[in-house]
Amino acid sequence: MSYLALARKYRPRTFDEVVGQMHVVRALTAALTQDRLHHALLFTGTRGVGKTTLARIIARCLNCDNSGGVPTPTPCNTCQSCTSIEQGRFVDMLEIDAASHTGVDNMREIIENAQYQPTVGRYKVYLIDEVHMLSKGAFNALLKTLEEPPAHVKFILATTDPQKLPMTILSRCLQFHLKRLSVSTIVAQFGKILTLENINNETPALHELARAADGSMRDGLSLLDQAIAFGGGVVTTHDVHDMLGNTGGQVVYSLLEAVAAFDAQAAWALLQNLL
C-alpha cells in the first residue's frame, strides 16, 4: 500500500477530533442534535484550518445509516454511507471546485440536479469550495436555490476570501469563521501524531515547524512529513532549521545578549556565523 500523507491519514473523522475550532463545533453539534441545521452554511478561514473536513463530517452526520433515520452529531463512521463519504464516492455528496467550475452553466446543472430526491442517503450535500471564484452569473443562478432550497438539500460553501462574496449570498448563509490555529495547538497535535507513528522528536523542532505553518494545520502536517523524511525518521531541531533555512530563536537571543553586554567581539563572531 502506498504511503499516505499525515494530513490525509489524520484528517478528523468526528467533531471530537477537530482541534482549535470549538466555537464552530459546538454550534454545529447543537444544531444537529436538535435537527435544526441551516440549509446553507458558509465556512471562511485561511487554508488548512478544517473547512472541507467539517463539511465531510456534516455530510456523515446527516446520512449515517446507524443514526435512527435522523441527523446525529456522532456518526458511526463504519456504515456504508459514512465510509463512502470518507472515500469520496458517495453519490449524494457533490464536491465542486469553484475555481475550475466558475460558469453559470455549471451552477444551473447543480441547481437542476438538486430538485431530485437523494439516491441513497437522506440528504444531498453540495460542497462548493473557493466559492468566491464563481462568476457573477453563477452567483445569480445560485441565489434563488440558496434562499428556498428543497428540504433534502444542504449547501456548504467554503472560501478563503469572503470579502469577494456578494452580500446577497452572505445574507442567505449561516456563516462560521474558522480561526488560524495557535502554535501550541499545532504542537500538541504534532505530539499526538508522532507518538502514534512512533517517531522520536525534539520539542523545539515541533515549535519551529508549528510557527512555519502560520496557523494552518494542513501546512504544518506537510512540513512535519517533510521533516521526518529530511531527518531519516527522526525530527531534530538542527534538521528542522536546515530544512526551513532559518537560524532559530537562540541565535537571536545570544546576539541580543552580546549587544546588551557591549561585547563587540562576541556579537561580531555571531554575525559571521550567521553569514
Is 70 exceeded by the pLDDT of residue 133? yes
17 pLDDT more than 60? yes
46 versus 102: the higher-pLDDT residue is 46
Q: Mean pLDDT across the stretch 58-86?
A: 92
pLDDT tens digits, one per residue of 19-29:
999 999 999 99
Residue 111's Cβ-count burial label (10 Å; 0-12, 13-18, 19+) is middle
Model confidence band, residue 16 (pLDDT cutoffs 50, 70, 90): very high
Band of the pLDDT at 274, cuts 50, 70, 90?
confident
User: pLDDT at residue 246 above 90?
Assistant: no
C-alpha to C-alpha distance for 158 and 181, rounded to whole angstroms = 17
Cα separation, 60 vs 76, in Å, equals: 8
pLDDT per position as a tens digit, 175-230: 999 999 999 999 999 999 999 999 999 999 999 999 999 999 999 999 999 999 99
Q: Is the pLDDT of residue 1 over 60?
A: no
- For residues 123-139, give the mean pLDDT: 91
DSSP assignment of 95-139, as one string?
A: EEETTT--SHHHHHHHHHHHTSPPSSSS-EEEEEETGGGS-HHHH
Closest CA to 55 of 9, 79, 24: 24
The C-alpha cell that represents 96 in the structure block: 465542486
pLDDT band at 127 (very low <50, low <70, confident <90, very high): very high
Percent of the chain, pLDDT > 70? 99
Grid coordinates of 255: 546576539
Cell of 46: 485561511
- With 90 as the cut, is the pLDDT of residue 104 above it? no
- How far apart CA 175 and CA 137 sit, in angstroms, is 22
What pTM did the predictor assign?
0.87
What is the Cα–Cα distance from 31 to 75, expressed in whole angstroms? 14
pLDDT of residue 50: 93
Burial of 268 (0-12, 13-18, 19+ CB in 10 A): exposed
When pLDDT is cut at 50, 70 and 90, the band that residue 248 belongs to is low
